[in-house]
Amino acid sequence: MKKPALTPGWMRRTCAILAVGALASPASHACFAPPREQVVTPEEQIALASDVSVARVVRATASAARKGGGRQAVEYEFEVVQRILGPDEARFVIVGAHGETRMAGPASDHGDDAFWQRGGGRLYNDSDCVLRPNFVVGESYLIFRDKPATWRSFEHVETVRGRPNPDDKWLSYVVEKLGSR
């Protein structure tokens, strides 16, 4: 039996078909680098701040499971413990996700050098470049509700004797910089 001859355009057609298939695939729309506004320095975060508080998670309500196996959306309700800057609200809601936002590690007082670099913080973007924070009911967080959200917009602050840890370096820095505004 004789093999069919390959025409000169077969390679071009094959490459075109593969390229169209790759573009149509959801995985091809992955976020290869986070948007610059998500990975700011602490100074940039402070300069952009207009709504900052320490708040405790009082409730987490999960939505129906997402189609396609994506993360489940969760509505987190917060009670303000300490208003630093912005409107005087007693409670607010943030929609986030269920699951880890960054690899779990030892409790931090935000003293490590990596936190203070551009892009430091506990949060990172999903493969679609969207930030979907997660929280633990009963825990407190230093929250920048400003847009755009950054990798350090939702930092956990340890509770000491029922209050946010006054020795937390990020909390102390934010209060010092924003307290006079």
Q: Average pLDDT for residues 102-122, to the nearest whole number?
A: 77
**Residue 15 token pair:** 């490459």
Question: Tokens 């929250």 sit at which residue?
Answer: 143
Using the 8-state DSSP alphabet, how is residue 5 labeled?
P
Question: pTM value?
Answer: 0.77
C-alpha pair distances (Å), 158 with each of 99, 124, 176: 19, 20, 18
Q: Average pLDDT for residues 124-147, to the nearest whole number?
A: 88
User: Rounded CA gap, 49 and 3, in Å?
Assistant: 69
Residue 113 has pLDDT above 70, yes or no: yes
pLDDT band at 70 (very low <50, low <70, confident <90, very high): low
Residue 3 has pLDDT above 70, yes or no: no
For the chain, domains (ranges, CATH) are: 36-178 (2.40.50)
